[in-house]
Amino acid sequence: MIKIIFKWVSILLLTILIFGGALASHEWYANKPFFFRSYLDRTMIKVAFDSPETLTSLGFLESIGIKGHNAELDDSSQKKSDELFHLMKHVKLGIENYSEEELNDSENLSREIALYLLNFGINSEQFRYHNYPVNQLFGIQNDYPSFMDAQHQVNVVEDAENYISRLSKVKLKFEQSLEGLKIREEKGIIPPLFVIERVLDEMTRFVEQPIEENILYSSLKTKIDDSDEISSKQQSAILAKVATQMQESVHPAYQILIEYFTNLKRKASTDDGFWRLPLGEQAYAASLKFFTTTDYTPEQIHQMGLTEVARIQSEILAILASQGYSTEQGFTQSIEILKAQEAFYYPDTDAGRAQILADYQTILDEISIGLDPAFRIQPKAGMEVRRIPKFKEKTAPGAYYQQPSIDGSRPGLFFANLYDIKATPKYSMRTLAYHEGIPGHHFQIAIGMELEGMPLFRRMSPFTAYTEGWALYAEYLAWELGFENDPFDNIGRLQAELFRAVRLVVDTGLHHKRWTREQSIQYMLANTGMALSDVTSEIERYIVMPGQATSYKVGMMKILSLREKAKAALGKQFTLRDFHDVVLKNGAVPLHILERLVDQYIERLQKITKK
């Protein structure tokens, strides 16, 4: 939880209006600048240039020829974490110097959202170590190679030299990360045994594979092969340096964590929920609040999930019956019969996997040209489909989305997991593409990044209930708009929604009701019809990311309820285009703020009618 807070509060404090023009001396140095945005801008600019990885990810300095940051890595030390908490408190005081009366509506909304994030970050300091920063899904051991592969662009020799420089500095970064792991160990916050076993297996395989096959080597080789600016002689020299750094810096860095986790295994247990940690129940409640932006209790969320699971399963069985399937044996067996049909799967070959990626792209291309009736605003950034890198796909989720760069040089990316071919039935593909791509994450995130005149933190705010709620709503919307006319595609959509409803049950089951990992796996298997490999990785995800999985369904239900509220209030005045403008043009926001924005939209149109 705190890692996500750090990431996004850093952006909040780092990057607002980097593109806003020269700031006057007063605006840069005064305790209270004349303009509210100036205060936010200068703080974010100062810290942004202390985060080279953020600068690379944002990708705007390269377009003006500044690349030095691409040779550096972020400071991952505990001292830097302490500085961020201190900075949050300082910035909060600065923001509070501006009263609501002296700001316009847009500025007040920015002020409210900024304070919401800052207050949560400050109040969560007591839980800053309640996480597992190295786990089977994310952590420096796979974030680092993924970052180098997906975000470090290489077009000329200087870019490659910067890449090599980053390889040479990874050992220090791993040592800094170890500081925090040892503090957690002292506090009794130790990952479950399976987490340690997973990361040890991942890191051991990473260092044992031939250097030429390692993603840090092969990725750079592909990039320089694709460059017209790097000669064959230069390529050979670059790759020789990479091989040296792999041996002298990268492998020793991984050995540091391999040794640590090997020794930590003897302290680990097979209990999995947050309830087992010191202050674990309070930390879980805080996590639920952060991810859902609501005050729902774990018990409320659990019961909400049970109700939704029953409703959605009933709808799926009705469709199966209409297609001639027997449903007397109950939900689980009915889904197993459906899953067993080979016609729904691609060949378990390289060619079959390539066809999956091509078909995903076709699905996205098709819907992208048919959304004008529902959307007035659409993203300018393009989107591509890629396979999740093989080195981490075994424990990765079914898919994920990576935002485009701000300058447009890198498109939005939809990463699909092709490890288990049986986890990608054809009838599930449309829904997954709509969720991760269009009109889901790509629409919402890319549009948010492209909004004019809005502070950058509001273009990229970390409100998971909004962002994931929108993506799940997008699945429903695509079906409403006629892009899933095949009844089996609709089953795929309902299965995806069922999956998110089950998450409400198992997340709270694990961390509140003290379910075991095995108990949670069995519940999800029995109630979703998903492949065992997917269920296992999902349950293990909820264990290391408590609360996050509940945000999807909570957010979707809120967006749908607000849409129905607007329809009921406005009647014929209601249009999807208007509603989606309200939801998308303000960036990601907490759900209570989204409700207020919708209420204001309803009030505006009602006033027009009265005139």
Instruction: With respect to residue 478, please indicate whether it lies within any of the assigned structural domains.
Output: yes
Query: Residue 386 gets which letter from DSSP?
Result: E
CA angle 314, 320, 325 (to 5 degrees): 130
Instruction: Give yes or no: residues 206 and 321 share one domain.
Output: no
Q: Please indicate, yes or no, whether residues 14 and 46 belong to a single structural domain of this protein.
A: yes
Same domain, yes or no: 523 and 507: yes
Can you tell me whether residue 74 is helix, strand or coil?
A: coil
**Same domain? 258 vs 324:** no
Cα separation, 398 vs 521, in Å, equals 16
How far apart CA 465 and CA 503 sit, in angstroms, is 14
Strand partners, 387: 416
Give residues with Cβ within 8 angstroms of 569, minimum separation 6. 602, 606
* Residue 213 CB neighbours (<10 A): 10
CB count within 10 Å of CB 164 equals: 17
pLDDT in tens, 284-312: 999 999 999 999 999 999 999 999 999 99
Residues 371 and 502 in one domain: yes
The confidence score (pLDDT) of residue 28 equals 65
Residue 558, domain member (yes or no): no
Shared-domain flag, residues 512 and 543: yes
Crossing angle between the packed helical segments 2-14 and 105-123, to the nearest 10 degrees: 140
Distance CA 10, CA 363 (A): 36
Grouping H, G, I as helix, E, B as strand and the rest as coil, residue 588 is coil
Identify any residues that bridge with 385 across adjacent strands, giving them in sequence order: 414
- The pLDDT assigned to 1 comes to 33
C-beta of residue 553 within 8 angstroms of C-beta of residue 426: no
- The domain boundary, picked from 128, 158, 184, lies at 128
The number of domains in the chain is 3
Q: Are residues 314 and 365 in the same domain?
A: yes
Domain final position from 512, 533, 553? 553
CA–CA separation, 2 vs 547, rounded Å?
Answer: 12
- 610 belongs to a structural domain: no
Residues 244, 197, single domain; the answer is yes
pLDDT of residue 530: 81
Measured distance CA(460)–CA(464) in Å, rounded:
11
Q: Which of 106, 117, 250, 135 is nearest to 197 (CA)?
A: 135
Q: Are residues 480 and 525 in the same domain?
A: yes
Q: At 496, which amino acid appears?
A: A
- 584 Cβ neighbours under 8 A, 6+ residues apart: 377, 443, 444, 447, 448
227 located within any domain: yes
pTM: 0.84
**φ/ψ (deg, to 5) at 322:** -70, -20
Are 178 and 327 within one domain?
Answer: no
Determine the pLDDT at residue 6. 37
Check if the beta carbon of residue 585 is closer than 8 Å to that of residue 453: no
Domain that holds residue 476: 286-553
- Would 604 be classed as within a structural domain? no
Task: Identify whether residues 98 and 147 lie together within a single domain.
Answer: no
Which stretches of the chain drop beneath a pLDDT of 70? 1-28, 395, 407, 611
Of 65, 97, 128, the one marking the end of a domain is 128
Is residue 386 domain-shared with residue 510, that is, in the same domain?
yes
